[in-house]
Amino acid sequence: EAQVTQNPRYLITVTGKKLTVTCSQNMNHEYMSWYRQDPGLGLRQIYYSMNVEVTDKGDVPEGYKVSRKEKRNFPLILESPSPNQTSLYFCASRKDREQNSPLHFGNGTRLTVT
């Protein structure tokens, strides 16, 4: 089944403790992206990647890192999480860099930072 898989689904951590949220897609998609979703603010892009070893900042990149060493994986790293990073996170992929290709989303990771 074609899908985007994120892990974990739920994560509670404390301020300053490094964490990684994994994202993997099995559709051989070139483009991958991370979003956070907060009430009333919609989906905001954190980082995106057009292809392997190519990553760029989105709208809200502060406090986050990403890497794209393989085509299928795009982990999101929080080196020193803070409470304002408490949010619902989605990884997404699409076939190519063309904006008329639909995005395929994972089922989300709900992160709480205390």
| Site residues (vs another protein, CB under 8 A) | 4, 35, 39-45, 50, 58-59, 90, 92, 97-100, 102-108
Cβ closest to another protein, residue 6 vs residue 85 = 6
Considering the complex, what minimum distance in angstroms separates the CB of residue 80 from another protein? 26
Could you give the CA distance from residue 44 to residue 89 in angstroms, rounded to a whole number?
A: 10
Cβ closest to another protein, residue 25 vs residue 80 = 25
Q: Is 103 exposed, middle or buried (0-12, 13-18, 19+ CB in 10 A)?
A: middle
Cβ closest to another protein, residue 44 vs residue 71 = 44
Amino acid (1-letter code) at residue 66: V
DSSP state of 101: S
Considering the complex, what minimum distance in angstroms separates the CB of residue 7 from another protein? 13
Considering the complex, what minimum distance in angstroms separates the CB of residue 21 from another protein? 13
Pairing of strands 87-94, 31-38: antiparallel
